[in-house]
Amino acid sequence: MAATISIRNVSRRFGETWALRPVDLEVAAGEFIALVGPSGCGKTTLLRIVADLVEPSSGEVRIGPDTARRARQERLLGLVSQRPAVLPWKRAIDDVRFTQRIAGKVGFDPGKVLREFGLEGHEAKRARQLSGGMLQRVNIASAIAHDPAVLLMDEPFAALDEMKREEIGEWFDRELAMRPKTVLFVTHHIDEAVMLADRLLVFSPAPGRVLEVVDVPVPRPRDVSFRQDPRFVAIAAHVRGLLMHRQAA
Ligand SMILES: Nc1ncnc2c1ncn2[C@@H]1O[C@H](COP(=O)(O)OP(=O)(O)OP(=O)(O)O)[C@@H](O)[C@H]1O
Ligand SMILES: [Mg+2]
């Protein structure tokens, strides 16, 4: 199940400082949107507004027909934070069960989710006994365990090395093909964004506004060979150009 997201004239100021200039975006059900832009341009702020963790200074968000507040209350959202709170002694399986208990909703069998995430045999391990890649998969498993319609991910693969990052990205792409969700995905990694997303929202430096919405008109999930595809190369170069030009300006 996936839901539409409608972001209408959403901005945020903290005191006198603009964290985010007004953003408008209509996201189709099942669409994957990557948010890229320099540090401090308001990516996390926008994600947290959609998650109903920050109030917008203007505008409104709808998840399907619901307000962000209602969507949160109805447990339609899954969130992978930029700084996940990891309790070192917590077992992987309990982490997944915990999300379901909070949501009051069992979407999937926690053991099955972890097995499908390649964590068979690690279910009873504690967070401190898992590698960074495994831990991140547990985080994602926990975020989707109650089967949310919308998944909000803030630099979920940032702690991983390049190889692991590509591997988990491919795995995640296939995972989404099995259980479609609408995704907002923040990353600093342009190649990762082009590999995974249907559209990229490219932000200017702070105070952030959307410079351009860039289409990646290639069906998902995508094969690794897409990295060599001329369309991939051209889109990544275009996005890099947008960001570099604006940084220098
Ligand atoms: N609670 C807050 N109070 C005051 N200012 C804030 C708060 N949250 C964010 N900001 C400011 O809003 C701006 C945008 O922050 P945000 O975290 O959204 O950026 P970001 O694009 O996610 O950056 P990064 O890529 O470094 O994670 C920054 O100037 C930040 O200092
Ligand atoms: Mg951030």
3-state class (DSSP) for residue 234:
helix
Nearest CA to ligand 1 atom 10: 19
Ligand 1 atom nearest residue 41's Cα = 21
User: DSSP secondary-structure letter at 218?
Assistant: S
CB 55 less than 6 A from any atom of ligand 1: no
- If asked whether residues 135 and 165 sit together in one domain, one would say no
Mutate to test the pocket of ligand 1, among 10, 14, 80 (most ligand atoms within 8 A of CB): 14
The DSSP secondary structure of 55-90, one letter per residue, reads --SEEEEEETTEEHHHHHHTT-EEEE-SS----TT-
> What's the pLDDT tens digit per position in 159-178?
778 887 888 888 888 888 88
Picking from 85, 120, 147, the residue at the C-terminal end of a domain is 147
**pLDDT, tens only, 116-143:** 778 899 999 998 898 888 888 888 888 8
Average pLDDT of the chain to the nearest whole number = 90
pLDDT tens profile 179-217: 899 999 999 999 999 999 999 999 999 888 999 999 999
Residues 54-64 have a mean pLDDT of 98
Residue 70 maps to a domain: no
Q: Give me the mean pLDDT over the 77-101 stretch.
A: 83
Residue 7: closest CA among 52, 73, 74, 72? 52
- Please give the Cα distance from 161 to 11 (Å, whole number): 33
What is residue 43's predicted lDDT score, i.e. its pLDDT?
96
Residues 226 and 167 in one domain: yes
The closest ligand to the CA of 207 turns out to be 1
126 shares its domain with 181: no
Whether the pLDDT of residue 237 is over 90: the answer is yes
Residue 37: closest CA among 191, 202, 214, 194: 202
Residues 103 and 160 in one domain: no
% of the chain surpassing 70 pLDDT? 97
Rounded mean pLDDT of 64-84? 90
Span from the CA of 66 to the centroid of ligand 1 (angstroms): 26
Q: Which atom of ligand 1 is nearest to the CA of 38?
A: 25
pLDDT above 60: residue 248: no
- Tell me: do 117 and 157 sit in the same domain: no
Is any ligand 1 atom within 6 A of the Cβ of residue 35? no
Question: Is residue 16 domain-shared with residue 81, that is, in the same domain?
Answer: no
Q: Report how far residue 187's alpha carbon sits from residue 202's, in angstroms, rounded to the nearest whole number.
A: 11
Residue whose CA is at the smallest distance from ligand 1 atom 16: 42
Same domain, 50 and 158: yes
Q: Is residue 72 part of a domain?
A: no
Whole-angstrom distance, CA of residue 181 vs CA of residue 153? 12
Predicted pLDDT of residue 63: 98
In a domain, 71, yes or no: no
Report pLDDT for 206.
87
Task: State the pLDDT at residue 122.
Answer: 94
Q: Name the residue range of residue 230's domain.
A: 1-55+150-249
pLDDT for res 98? 84
Residue nearest to atom 24 of ligand 1 (CA): 39
Q: What is the CA radius of gyration of the chain?
A: 18
The response to whether residue 45 sits with its C-beta less than 6 Å from ligand 1 reads yes
Residue 47, pLDDT above cutoff 60 = yes
Domain finish residue from 147, 177, 193: 147
- Say if 63 falls within a structural domain: no
Output the residue whose Cα is nearest ligand 1's atom 5: 14
- pTM value is 0.92
Q: Tell me the per-residue pLDDT of 212-227, one tens digit each, with 9 for 90 and over.
A: 999 999 999 999 899 9
Question: Residue 53 corresponds to which tokens in the numbers above?
Answer: 């963790």
**pLDDT grade for 42, boundaries at 50, 70 and 90:** very high
Give the 3-state secondary structure of residue 143. helix
Domain count, the chain: 2
